[in-house]
Amino acid sequence: MNSFNTIWANGRGNLATWLLWGLAAVFVVYTFASGGYLIAVLQFALIYTVLVTGLNIFMGFTGQVSFGHNAFAAIGGYSSAVLTATYGWEPLPAGLVGLAGALLCALVIGYPVLRLRGHYLAMATLAIGLIVYEVAVQWQSVTQGYMGISGIAPIGIGRFTITSDRGLLVFLMIAAALALLSAAGIRRSRLGRAFVAAAGSEDAARALGIDVARYKLIAFMISAAYAAIAGSLFAHAVGFVSPEVFGLPMVVMSFTMLYVGGIGTIAGPALGAIIISVLPESFRTFKDYQDLAYGAALIVILIYAPRGLASLPELWARWRRRSA
Amino acid sequence: MFNLVAQSVLSGIGIGAVYGLIGIGFCVIYNASGIVNFAQGAFVMLGGMLTNVGMIKLGLPLPLAAIGAIAIVAMLGVVLERIVVRPLWNRGSTMFVMILATLAAQIVVERITQIMAGDQPRTLPVFTDLPPLRLFGFAINFQFLWILGCSALVIILLGLFFSSTKTGKAMRACSINRDAAALQGIRVSRMLALAFALSAALGAFAGILITPTQYTAFNVGVPFAISGFIAAIVGGFGRPLGAFAGGILLGVAQALAIVLLGAAFKNVAALSILLLFLFVRPTGLLGPAK
């Protein structure tokens, strides 16, 4: 179900999806050539691609719910920020510490929390996100509270750092592509098949000998890892982190991207992230209305196109039938 | 020290009663539909904000402003049900999608409030402006008495509504078995709208009661909703009286955590209670509703 093969490559869907890909490619090339502010927008979209891809593994493939992945992004982002800006570490080891921290937290939190279902699971994960936010606000000696941490060094290894906007863009493109490719690899592997089986029916999966609890935990940890990497990338790309960056709006925005692109598909996260990042930028005057627009868009999508752009061909076919 | 602890337990009971009312709001919708409405916090926030606006912009006296605010919020509850919940409900969406949609609605309401009213915290005057009562060496605020009295009244009225009015009985029938209720000629969808109105009014009322002792701003909704949700879980989801007891337990635990461990531990205490109940006794104090 819900896999790359069945949704993105089925006959009628092709034209619309290739058109979208074409538009995305044209946009990327145009941005690269023209430079300026659009580059920052695209960088942002690529970072979110990594986060949403992780969310997709947990929610799309495994059929679970997490409202708390901003917690893992915050752990990654703050580890990178504190270790490089305050303690002068290299970006790579700092990011790895953040990754390890997020994995450890996901293991410790996931073990009890993933036994829950439905609204219990939703509320427990939401609470985790809020707790980490609270820690970021309160633990002022390390996180500097609401002020946030600025002056985070750009990404790089040793003396080789990426300082130019275009260089960073290429780097983030590679990172996002790796995220998507690894998600595709996971989806096709034994692991991915187990995830999808657990999403379909836990009882049936169990009957096939799949240790559902264990695979849910693995999916949770993998998606937490993506979130932590996205958090670290954000810290270095923007050079600034604060609790607000990793607040509840981040959760809603990542869900919007996931649903716009198409939950459960491989490429959906990238498409959703680019569209949701670019659209508000084309209406810059409405900056204040951004979260409002994300929320409203999410509601409309959930009601009318629950599988995102992937379901557009279907809607189109239905509309044609009705008007014919 | 003893005095300080006892005093904070008292204030914890007051805040806990408010959590309990919010928790009952969760139960009312859950019982009528099986939906968990994550936009519950928006109602609480709007209750306080709209009352404040009514008093300051329109110059209304507090009771009028409060009644107006509750009425408007109840209508907004129906609007939420009509434009967000109903379409999803008709399509048979999964519970997760419903949660996500109501959470998105929460954010939308929050942002609209922020744009229209700014991000400055606001407050309401206390209902009775007299120095606190002195009883056995404790200071008891009048607002505390208002909170306890009003929430007790609300619970009695709700109890009467559900046990002796036709509409209340119809709502209970829906919570027992929706299909059977529909076969009896009960309009299940109308009950759903009514449940949202009732729940929104409860939330707004809770928000108005608590605002004089704290403050309100566009972003206070989510923390209140989480406290109310924890209260509902502690009480056994779907059991209004349990939710109220759970709210008081939560309020007291938070107050004790603040006075004994420090203010930063307020939410840690709340979350610990949530996790404790989820893992050890997920059916809550009173057991499940059905």
* Per-residue pLDDT band at A232 (split at 50, 70, 90): very high
Secondary structure, 3-state, chain B: CHHHHHHHHHHHHHHHHHHHHHHHHHHHHHHHHCCCCCCHHHHHHHHHHHHHHHHHCCCCCHHHHHHHHHHHHHHHHHHHHHHHHHHHHHCCCCHHHHHHHHHHHHHHHHHHHHHHHCCCCECCCCCCCCCCEEECCEEECHHHHHHHHHHHHHHHHHHHHHHHCHHHHHHHHHHHCHHHHHHCCCCHHHHHHHHHHHHHHHHHHHHHHHHHHCCECCCCHHHHHHHHHHHHHHHCCCCHHHHHHHHHHHHHHHHHHHHHHCHHHHHHHHHHHHHHHHHHCCCCCCCCCC
Which two structure tokens, joined as six digits, stand for B172? 């209970």
**Which tens digits make up the pLDDT trace of A23-51?**
777 877 887 777 777 888 888 899 999 99
Gap between the Cα atoms of A41 and A122, Å rounded: 30
Q: Residue A58 pLDDT > 60, yes or no?
A: yes
The structural domains of chain B, with segments of one domain joined by +, span 2-117+141-280
- Residue B103 contacts A where some CB pair is shorter than 8 Å: yes
**Which tens digits make up the pLDDT trace of A269-296?**
988 898 888 776 665 556 667 778 878 8
Contact A82, A142 (CB under 8 A): yes
Backbone angles phi, psi at B110, to 5 degrees: -55, -50
Res A51: pLDDT: 96
Gap between the Cα atoms of B1 and A321, Å rounded: 75
Could you give the number of structural domains in chain A? 1
Q: Distance from B146 to chain A by nearest Cα, in Å?
A: 30
Chain B residues inside the 8 Å CB shell of A134: 264, 267
- Residue B4 contacts A where some CB pair is shorter than 8 Å: no
Chain A residues inside the 8 Å CB shell of B264: 134, 138
**Minimal Cβ distance to A119: which of B95, B112, B222:** B95
* Per-residue pLDDT band at A310 (split at 50, 70, 90): low
Res A10: pLDDT: 43
**Minimal Cβ distance to B115: which of A65, A115, A288:** A288
Give the number of other Cβ atoms within 10 Å of residue A218's Cβ. Answer: 21
Chain B residues inside the 8 Å CB shell of A123: 36, 226, 229, 233, 274
Q: DSSP state, A10?
A: S
Look up the CATH number of the domain holding residue A260: 1.10.3470
Residue A43 burial (C-beta neighbours within 10 Å; 0-12, 13-18, 19+): buried
Disruptive mutation site among B96, B250, B276 for chain A (greatest number of A CBs within 10 Å): B96
Low-confidence ranges of chain B (pLDDT < 50): 290
- Residue B56 contacts A where some CB pair is shorter than 8 Å: no
Q: Which ranges of chain A would DSSP assign to H, the alpha helix? A: 4-7, 13-34, 37-56, 69-81, 91-113, 118-138, 140-143, 165-188, 190-200, 202-207, 212-238, 248-261, 268-282, 290-304, 312-323
- Residue A288 contacts B where some CB pair is shorter than 8 Å: yes
Question: DSSP secondary structure string, A124-178?
Answer: HHHHHHHHHHHHHHH-HHHH-GGG-EE-PPPSEETTEE--SHHHHHHHHHHHHHH
The mean pLDDT value for A295-302 works out to 85
Q: Residue A243 pLDDT > 50, yes or no?
A: yes
Res B188: pLDDT: 85
Greatest Cα pair distance, chain A, in angstroms, is 67
- Residue A302 contacts B where some CB pair is shorter than 8 Å: yes
Chain A residues inside the 8 Å CB shell of B115: 288-289, 292
User: Which residues form the domain of A122?
Assistant: 4-323
- What is the sign of the dihedral through the CA atoms of A182, A188, A193 and A196? positive
The mean pLDDT value for A154-166 works out to 78
- Residue B280 contacts A where some CB pair is shorter than 8 Å: no
B57: amino acid identity, one letter: K
- Specify the residue for token string 């209720």: B181
The arrangement of secondary structure in B2-117+141-280, i.e. its CATH architecture, is Orthogonal Bundle (1.10)
**CB distance B107–A295 less than 8 Å?**
yes
Nearest of B23, B13, B14, B29 to residue B44 by alpha carbon: B23
Q: How far is CA A47 from the centre of its chain?
A: 8
- Residue B283 contacts A where some CB pair is shorter than 8 Å: no
Contact B52, B122 (CB under 8 A): yes
Res A260: pLDDT: 84
**Which tens digits make up the pLDDT trace of A174-212?**
999 999 999 999 999 999 999 999 988 888 998 988 899
**CA distance readout (Å), A231 to A51, A116, A170, A267:** 8, 26, 18, 20
Gap between the Cα atoms of B206 and B22, Å rounded: 7
Residue A117 or A11, more confident: A117
**Which tens digits make up the pLDDT trace of A100-143?**
999 999 999 898 888 887 778 888 888 888 888 888 888 888 88
**CB distance B104–A302 less than 8 Å?**
yes
Gap between the Cα atoms of A167 and B230, Å rounded: 48
Q: Residue A324 pLDDT > 80, yes or no?
A: no
**Which tens digits make up the pLDDT trace of B41-99?**
999 999 999 999 999 888 889 899 999 999 999 999 999 999 999 999 888 887 778 88
Res B288: pLDDT: 62
